[in-house]
Chains A and B, each alone.
Chain A
Amino acid sequence: MRQWLGLVARLVTGGVWIYAGAVKLPDPYASVQAVRAYELLPSSVAEAVGYLLPPLEIVVGLALVLGLLTRGAAVVSAVLFVVFIVGIASVWARGMEIDCGCFGGGGFDPDARSSYPWEIARDAALLLASCYLVWLRRSRLALDNLLFRRTTSPTGG
């Protein structure tokens, strides 16, 4: 049962990552601007992060959906969510009004203040799902189960 729940967690979290990455991938400039809008990173670092995030999100999402190195992918996923939550919380605390740029977009957004809580809640839920996958280790219908099938009896070390 837990392993089926793990499958659901993988599909939901991975699906969100793939979508978020795919929406941002075609427009690297907007992606860089969205990172800049947080006003947390020096310009050149923001640029690198803006280029890096979309492909990273897609690969992490694919790994989760396929169940490929699930644990590792879930760790990366959890770390990213922590970073995003910190980022959104920090703009909120600084009273800035920006679109989180989570799914494309980014920059100034007059209605940002009302969306911060919901964005943080969403990321926190996905963070939980990622942590669950790290803890669970194995889930159903995962490529891991094919790749790392045991060929010996599980005795001893």
Chain B
Amino acid sequence: MSDPTNPTNAGRPPKPTKSQKAQARAERAAELIRQQQAAERRRNMLVVASVVVAMVLIVGVLFFINASRDSVDDIDAAPAGKSEWGLTIGDADAPHDVIIYEDFLCPFCGQLERESSEDLNRLAEAGKVQVEYRPFNLLQADYSVAAANAFAEVLEKEGPEVAKKFHDLLFEDQPSESGEQPGNDWLLEKAVEAGADEATVKAGIEGGGQEDWVEGATRAAADAGVNSTPIILLDGKAYQEGRTIEEIADNLISELE
């Protein structure tokens, strides 16, 4: 730019022509618009960023509330072998204990039983684990109640060994949750097949004599925070390592081996 205090005008560039002036004006105006646009872009970015941050915060806070409200991690169940509502196999001094909450009708329970029952029997016999099965009425179905009732009756009258056999048979031939479910005749048949004396358990199975037991077991499960089945507790903690029941069962067995 020229220096107006210099009287000699030496080195002064030639006077700008009209068109050059107009061009300079246009450039200044364009510059102003560019600045405004840059300011607008900054403002927009700031708005986008703050809205995104707010959204992420909301999602994050709800995520953590959700995670802390979930109940599987704080199931507070009676230790294995110490419940009034279960069937225990294996030695109390075994290095691990497993508790399985189940409903006789729940398909995933059936799958878990078919995948794990034999191995758990073997490991319990070998003194590697103590397992307590805690059947209860989760599904609020007639069969869930009838089967648990029959189980309790067999357990009381015939002892844990026959009851375990009965329990395994019920899961081996588990009726479908969607179809029609068998009644007490079928349950009695299975109990006899498991080694129960028909005359001893008939009245209790057919008359629903253990329905108080079923109610008690169901209440105890609810009190412990169990609201789905199957729930596996390994050494008191919910165990769910695996994508499928099959994987979970396999992983559980290999932890116990």
Contact = CB atoms under 8 A, between A and B. Distances in A.
Contacts of B58: 55, 59
Interface of B: 30, 33-34, 36-37, 40, 44, 47-48, 51-52, 55, 58-59, 62-63, 66-67, 69-72, 107-108, 176-178, 227-228, 240-244, 248
Interface in A100-157: 108, 110-111, 147-148, 150-153, 155-157
Interface of A: 25, 28-33, 36, 39-43, 46-47, 51-52, 54-56, 58-59, 63, 68-69, 72, 108, 110-111, 147-148, 150-153, 155-157
B59 A55 contact: yes
A111 B33 CA distance: 63
Residue of A30, A55, A58, A153 with highest tally of chain B CB at under 10 A: A55
B52 A69 contact: yes
A105 to B, nearest CB: 13
Q: Which 10 residue pairs spanning A and B have beta carbons closest together?
A: A110-B178, A55-B62, A28-B66, A51-B66, A152-B36, A55-B59, A28-B70, A39-B244, A43-B240, A51-B67
A29 B228 CA distance: 9
Given A29-B70, A108-B177, A41 B243 contact: yes
A156 B33 contact: yes
A148 B63 contact: no
A56 B52 CA distance: 12
Given A25-B66, A59-B55, A150-B40, 18 more contacts: A28-B66, A43-B248, A47-B70, A51-B67, A55-B58, A55-B59, A55-B62, A108-B177, A111-B178, A147-B51, A148-B44, A148-B47, A151-B36, A151-B40, A152-B40, A155-B33, A156-B30, A156-B34
A29 B47 CA distance: 35
Contacts of B62: 25, 54-55, 58
Nearest to B107: A108
A121 to B, nearest CB: 24
B243 A55 contact: no
A29 B33 contact: no
A4 to B, nearest CB: 24
Contact of A52 (B36, B59, B70, B71): B59
